[in-house]
Structure 1
Amino acid sequence: MNLSSFFIYCVIVAFSPGPANIVILASVQNSGMKKTLRYIAGASIAFFLLIVASVVLGQLLTSSMPFILPALRIAGCLFMLYLAYQVYTMDVSKSSGNQTTSFTSGFLMQFLNPKVVLFTLTVIPSYVMPYYTAGPVISAFVVAVSLIGLSAYMTWAVCGSLFQGIMQKYRRTTNTILALFLLYSAIVVSGIPELIKG
């Protein structure tokens, strides 16, 4: 097993902009770090549970993914559109955004985001299980990947906190840009670009 390629893959997927990271950035701006930690807790627990599911169900999940993916794409697209609307309509006159900073919202986002689902359900079976079968070793990889995910969420939150002053000064513009990123993510997740390409 090539550990460096495994960890590089995990870091790139976890830290790259995606719906959960964009919502974290918007939540810090609109609700502050303390309230955003609820969202991060929900997202992190769901991320961990998805990785555990990949270990437990292994090959069954990987082989059934082509059948599950269309429904997951639709549900994920709709949820991201809802979040884009929530971010766009956050009250610019006061800190709000409890709709998007809840534990439940962070938890659900992970189960409805095909990028996260595909990553978490395939990373351990594809990279680790062909080389290791011992429970403690696989458990260590599950914890390592979960910590990479948590560190990515916290990094996005810290960046949001560092730039909170600038983001609040231009809150309406920031909310609009973040909502547009979520809208873009929803379109990509829906599979429409793939249909257009042919």
Structure 2
Amino acid sequence: MSVAVLPFLAFGASQVGTPGPANMVLLATGARFGLRRALPFVAGVAFGKQLIIWPLGLGLMAVQDDYRFVFEVLKWISVAYILYLAYRVAGLRLKVGEAMGTPPGFFAGLIVHPLNPKAWAMITTGFTTFVSTGTPPLQATATIAICLLGLQIVLHPIWTYAGQRVATALAGKPAEKYLMWTLAALTVASVIYALFAGGTS
């Protein structure tokens, strides 16, 4: 009765570290405001996944079949939110960490993963694939929560810093708008993949 920690860490790294709605938003935020100014937002994104992990691990999945309509509505609300983020990303222009205005803060980041259908899919897969039958819910949930938080603390700033570096190279150049359109398109594609092709990131 346990969690397969090493296999789950490998799975989690492959998901947290690859393109998805959250990472595209982090990339765009880093490009717009730079890593230092974006850190509160990055922290919010990392801790926001905990708002999914604990309810799922402590029993939400047990009632999913009884409230399928509610879960379906939540899924499409999530899709609409991610598409809205993609629309915002497409219109952003890079300022090499000196953008006017206030960067998104901790609480803005906190809601990214709860409204990200790919995050729900990844966490559900973690519980159904890497947790042995009979493992106490608290043990399983805490293990998965700690593993994912550790991965996010390492990988989310990398995505944000990558955005800053891209901004340094492309800000004010003709390729700038095409980059932002590409990031927006990747965000939309990642959601479509998660919904219709069985993606789990």
The residue aligned with 1:185 is: 190
Number of equivalences: 192
Check whether the contact 2:89–2:180 (CA below 8 A) recurs between aligned residues. Answer: yes
CA distance in 2: counterparts of 1:147 and 1:74, whole angstroms: 29
Q: Give the one of 70, 73, 88 matched to 1:71.
A: 73
Letter in 2 for 1:32: G
Letter in 2 for 1:111: P
Q: What stretches of structure 2 of length at least 5 have no aligned partner?
A: none
CA distance in 1: counterparts of 2:6 and 2:148, whole angstroms: 13
Check whether the contact 2:117–2:195 (CA below 8 A) recurs between aligned residues. Answer: no
The 5 A counterparts of 1:45-124 are 45-57=47-59, 59-60=61-62, 63=65, 67-91=69-93, 95-96=99-100, 98=102, 101-124=104-127
Q: Give the one of 130, 138, 142 matched to 1:139.
A: 142
The residue aligned with 2:157 is: 154
Question: Measured at CA, do residues 176 and 66 of structure 1 come closer, stay the same or move farther in structure 2, by a change above 3 Å?
Answer: same
1:16 and 2:21 equivalent? no
Check whether the contact 2:48–2:110 (CA below 8 A) recurs between aligned residues. Answer: yes
Check whether the contact 1:53–1:121 (CA below 8 A) recurs between aligned residues. Answer: no
Helix, strand or coil: the match of 1:110? coil
CA distance in 2: counterparts of 1:134 and 1:70, whole angstroms: 25
Q: TM-score, normalised by structure 1?
A: 0.78
Q: What's the offset of the Cα at 1:46?
A: 1.3
Q: TM-score, normalised by structure 2?
A: 0.77
Identity of counterpart residues, as a percentage? Answer: 20
Question: Measured at CA, do residues 107 and 97 of structure 1 come closer, stay the same or move farther in structure 2, by a change above 3 Å?
Answer: farther
Range 15-24 or range 90-99, more displaced: 90-99
CA distance in 2: counterparts of 1:63 and 1:10, whole angstroms: 26
Q: Give the one of 24, 27, 49 matched to 1:25.
A: 27
CA distance in 1: counterparts of 2:102 and 2:137, whole angstroms: 42
CA distance in 1: counterparts of 2:120 and 2:105, whole angstroms: 20
Q: What's the offset of the Cα at 1:173?
A: 2.2
Higher helix fraction: Structure 1 or Structure 2? 1
Q: What's the offset of the Cα at 1:185?
A: 3.0
Check whether the contact 2:121–2:194 (CA below 8 A) recurs between aligned residues. Answer: no
Question: Measured at CA, do residues 17 and 58 of structure 1 come closer, stay the same or move farther in structure 2, by a change above 3 Å?
Answer: same
Q: What's the offset of the Cα at 1:96?
A: 5.0
CA distance in 1: counterparts of 2:69 and 2:125, whole angstroms: 15
Q: Give the one of 139, 149, 169 matched to 1:166.
A: 169
Letter in 2 for 1:26: A
Higher relative contact order (CA closer than 8 Å, sequence separation 6+):
2
Letter in 1 for 2:6: S
The residue aligned with 1:44 is: 46
CA distance in 2: counterparts of 1:4 and 1:140, whole angstroms: 11
Q: What's the offset of the Cα at 1:182?
A: 1.9
